[in-house]
Chain A
């Protein structure tokens, strides 16, 4: 059948094509190498022999016309030429000879050039070189003029005109590195930073040692926020000119700007932690006075005041808040000193209020979400505390939903605030309180154990700890070691005392502790069980 054969044929052809392609490509590679060698050879091989070229087409016609003119001119020149024969051919002024360039008269030279063009064609080939050189030098001169004009415009602040002058100058003398660099400066002033970078690169292509160009390019790159590139350019400036103060200053700035972004989050916290708490011995904490528009706008919450008979306590303990305030810095600094390591691990504790999170986010900056061993945080995150966020600033809880359990507090103030907040939710309060290790009590309360808190704790112990068989004893013991504990005990009402008794009864039932311990504790609490 025709079709299977056809199919086979086509298949064969396709395969053949593929293999041919492969061959071609291999061949191409070897050809590339060969041709590159040949290329190199040609480059190095200078023109061995100049082929004798026929004369320029149509030159003969031009010759006849101009011959008459030429012969006349030559007669004149030979007369004068003998006197100053050296000046027959214009003297070439070197590009660096600025003084003679100042005296250079462009128009005169142009006229001379035109006269020379009318001379005989046989001199053309040799003259064309010198004319070329003259032409080049004329262009260079023009470029310098344009540069000066551009500089004048620049000083007057006319950056667009300056730029166009520099452009014409660049046209005239593309080898001058100063012109593109100056143009870059004008572009910088016009805020065209991308163009400025390009012009600086142009200038540097022409002259790799041009420090100003590096400097300007670095400035432009900084504006474009390409800090790494800018840094490199400044370093180049300093390598060429170590005494350049501006470059040094800018380099320092860049290094500072680059560093924090790369450091880890903990270190950021470290830095930020210690910052707002200068270790000045006066322990002065400034009161926070927020202007009206920055204060918390949440509606004031009506708190039901439960009179437990501790009104005097509250009044009494009010002045202590001042003490608390004053002691806060030392306390906190101790905290920081003692718990830096652990704190550094626990940055974010879940379930905290949004504001705290925001603070954290602010401080932690670019650091990615650190995978930190999470919660069961026993140590508080000092972060939030370090910012002058007093309990006042922490927004009052929306009463509609139960609040989240905050982390363990670091100060009594914190504790009080949390306590008050969780007042209506004993379960949460229990959880919250459980977070605080008993050994912390002394430090936590210091001078500021309030009796209502103590009562609250007792209630917790009775209602939650005992049923859950938690460690009541340690709590009781540590509480008893808190300062002013005795005072608080004294101010307990009979109802409260009743609660304490029940706690102890439960403790006894648990039977974890020895009889003596319990009794000792009872004494401290002033109850008889």
Chain B
């Protein structure tokens, strides 16, 4: 129907370096773009949306290319950006003074593929923490108060083969002590670590490399989680009920006809999420819960029931994969995305408040 939300490209800007990630600076009309110049140095640029165009406010060139960044562990006053670079170094930057990092740790031996933060921005409880996943197969949790050493490390034992960790996400941070980290690997493994017990809580394999995992909300009791994979598939897990053997209930959906690179939930509505595809397409989905979320199996043990997901809108923006996407936490429907065609686009999604 024509009543669907519309995805409109508001501003499109072509840059001269490879873009890997973009993140809105919380509580502002600015966003940060991270990438990699052709000469191998890192690019960090801050743009501001104003009157129908984006203005470059600041840019810095750093010695190593940036892969990913997050504001998740930053306080609202300081809004420090945590970045992972191609050298495996984790840095936290104060955007007012981008020349020296506020915190720096030689996190991994290989490129940091993914990063997430929790506990900042007034969201969630507990200490701010950053988690990084790297090609060396390990997932490390950092606390900016502790220098050089991670707070927790999850890595395969010596005998096991090390698989690249492609994505990490925090979740279940509803109390100061409770926290979960979910990690997706290139062989299709999804592992859920419980940081309070320091134990592996659940793992599964979805057959295709996992490009992105995200909980619908970091700061509540685990509700839903989306995992996107290669070969144009994504899975939605219902995380409320864990069955001892069957794990979490899930539904899987085919989309994009190419790798689904990202899934990002709308901050203002946890049942709406956007998936970004390798063919430069964006799909807007809405999840609907089943009538009964829990049902008993034949042995009487509770198990979860997955709902359904419906496609609200799709749009093709580019021919290259859209590898970076972020919803603005302050304005419903405003989002920024970056693609491998070196373009950054500010998009507007209308009618989201009517869903």
Chain B binder among A37-45, A212-220, A242-250: A37-45
Q: Chain B residue with minimal CB distance to A198?
A: B61
Set A21, A28, A170, A174: member contacting B331, Cβ < 8 A: A28
Contact B63 A170 (CB under 8 A): yes
Contact A20 B350 (CB under 8 A): yes
Across-interface contacts of A117 in B (CB, < 8 A): 147
Determine if A105 is an interface residue (Cβ-Cβ < 8 Å): no
Contact B77 A42 (CB under 8 A): yes
Determine if B27 is an interface residue (Cβ-Cβ < 8 Å): yes
Determine if B137 is an interface residue (Cβ-Cβ < 8 Å): no
Determine if A128 is an interface residue (Cβ-Cβ < 8 Å): yes
Determine if B14 is an interface residue (Cβ-Cβ < 8 Å): no
Taking A53-B127, A56-B145, A57-B152 as contacts, is the C-beta distance between A25 and B176 under 8 angstroms? Answer: no
Set A25, A56, A128: member contacting B151, Cβ < 8 A: A56
Determine if B126 is an interface residue (Cβ-Cβ < 8 Å): yes
Set B51, B96, B146: member contacting A124, Cβ < 8 A: B146
Contact A24 B27 (CB under 8 A): no
- 6 further A-B contacts with Cβ under 8 Å, apart from A28-B348, A206-B99, are A21-B350, A25-B52, A35-B28, A47-B77, A136-B100, A202-B61
Q: Chain B residue with minimal CB distance to A55?
A: B127
Within 8 A of B (CB), among A400-456: none
Across-interface contacts of B251 in A (CB, < 8 A): none
Within 8 A of B (CB), among A123-139: 124-125, 128, 131, 136
Q: How far is the CA of A510 from the CA of B127 in the complex (A)?
A: 118
Contact A36 B198 (CB under 8 A): no
Set A17, A24, A54, A202: member contacting B2, Cβ < 8 A: A17
Contact B76 A42 (CB under 8 A): yes
Across-interface contacts of B79 in A (CB, < 8 A): 42
Q: How far is the CA of A202 from the CA of B143 in the complex (A)?
A: 32
A-B contact pairs, 21 of them (CB 8 A): A13-B3, A17-B350, A20-B6, A20-B350, A20-B351, A21-B6, A24-B350, A28-B49, A31-B331, A35-B27, A35-B29, A36-B28, A39-B30, A47-B77, A56-B146, A57-B195, A58-B151, A128-B147, A174-B99, A174-B100, A198-B61
Across-interface contacts of B77 in A (CB, < 8 A): 42-43, 45-47
Across-interface contacts of B2 in A (CB, < 8 A): 9-10, 13-14, 17
Q: How far is the CA of A125 from the CA of B144 in the complex (A)?
A: 11
Residues 118-144 of B, flagged 1 when their CB comes within 8 A of A and 0 if not, give: 000000001111000000000001010
Contact A42 B151 (CB under 8 A): no
Q: Chain B residue with minimal CB distance to A131?
A: B147
Which positions in A face B, CB cutoff 8 Å? 9-10, 13-14, 17, 20-21, 24-25, 28-29, 31-32, 35-36, 38-39, 42-43, 45-47, 53-59, 117, 124-125, 128, 131, 136, 167, 170-171, 174-175, 198, 202, 206
Taking A35-B28, A36-B29 as contacts, is the C-beta distance between A54 and B76 under 8 angstroms? Answer: no
Contact A57 B143 (CB under 8 A): yes
Across-interface contacts of B126 in A (CB, < 8 A): 53-54
Determine if B250 is an interface residue (Cβ-Cβ < 8 Å): no
Across-interface contacts of A24 in B (CB, < 8 A): 333, 348, 350
Determine if B253 is an interface residue (Cβ-Cβ < 8 Å): no
Determine if B245 is an interface residue (Cβ-Cβ < 8 Å): no
Q: How far is the CA of A57 from the CA of B130 in the complex (A)?
A: 12
Across-interface contacts of B8 in A (CB, < 8 A): 21
Q: How far is the CA of A202 from the CA of B99 in the complex (A)?
A: 11
Chain B contact residues: helix, strand, loop or mixed: loop
Q: How far is the CA of A136 from the CA of B198 in the complex (A)?
A: 34
Which positions in B face A, CB cutoff 8 Å? 1-3, 6, 8, 10, 27-30, 49-52, 61, 63, 75-79, 96, 99-100, 126-129, 141, 143, 145-147, 151-152, 176-177, 195, 198, 330-331, 333-334, 348, 350-351
Q: Chain A residue with minimal CB distance to B122?
A: A51
Chain A proximity of B231: nearest CB distance (Å): 34
Contact A38 B99 (CB under 8 A): no
Chain A proximity of B93: nearest CB distance (Å): 11
Contact B145 A47 (CB under 8 A): no
Across-interface contacts of A57 in B (CB, < 8 A): 127, 129, 141, 143, 151-152, 195
Q: Chain B residue with minimal CB distance to A127?
A: B147
Q: Which 3 A-B pairs have the closest CB atoms?
A: A13-B2, A39-B28, A53-B127
Q: Point out which of A14, A31, A47, A170 has the most chain B C-beta atoms below 10 A from its C-beta.
A: A31
Contact B176 A54 (CB under 8 A): yes
Contact A39 B146 (CB under 8 A): no
Contact A47 B3 (CB under 8 A): no
Q: Chain B residue with minimal CB distance to A128?
A: B147
Q: How far is the CA of A25 from the CA of B331 in the complex (A)?
A: 12
Across-interface contacts of B146 in A (CB, < 8 A): 56, 59, 124
Q: Point out which of B27, B52, B61, B176 has the most chain A C-beta atoms below 10 A from its C-beta.
A: B27
Q: How far is the CA of A100 from the CA of B73 in the complex (A)?
A: 39
Q: How far is the CA of A24 from the CA of B350 in the complex (A)?
A: 7
Set A29, A128, A175: member contacting B100, Cβ < 8 A: A175
Contact B127 A32 (CB under 8 A): no
Contact A32 B348 (CB under 8 A): no
Contact A17 B6 (CB under 8 A): yes
Across-interface contacts of A17 in B (CB, < 8 A): 2, 6, 350
Q: How far is the CA of A58 from the CA of B334 in the complex (A)?
A: 39
Across-interface contacts of A56 in B (CB, < 8 A): 127, 143, 145-146, 151
Chain A proximity of B11: nearest CB distance (Å): 11
Across-interface contacts of A39 in B (CB, < 8 A): 27-30
Q: How far is the CA of A124 from the CA of B151 in the complex (A)?
A: 14
Set B51, B52, B152: member contacting A58, Cβ < 8 A: B152
Across-interface contacts of A38 in B (CB, < 8 A): 27-28
Q: How far is the CA of A55 from the CA of B129 in the complex (A)?
A: 12
Set A47, A124, A167: member contacting B63, Cβ < 8 A: A167
Chain A proximity of B105: nearest CB distance (Å): 12
Chain B proximity of A128: nearest CB distance (Å): 6
Q: How far is the CA of A43 from the CA of B3 in the complex (A)?
A: 40
Q: How far is the CA of A9 from the CA of B29 in the complex (A)?
A: 36
Across-interface contacts of A128 in B (CB, < 8 A): 145, 147
Contact B63 A28 (CB under 8 A): no
Q: How far is the CA of A54 from the CA of B29 in the complex (A)?
A: 32
Chain A proximity of B61: nearest CB distance (Å): 8
Taking A17-B2, A47-B75 as contacts, is the C-beta distance between A54 and B27 under 8 angstroms? Answer: no
Taking A24-B348, A167-B63 as contacts, is the C-beta distance between A175 and B76 under 8 angstroms? Answer: no
Taking A58-B152, A175-B99 as contacts, is the C-beta distance between A32 and B177 under 8 angstroms? Answer: no
Q: How far is the CA of A43 from the CA of B75 in the complex (A)?
A: 11
Q: How far is the CA of A9 from the CA of B331 in the complex (A)?
A: 30
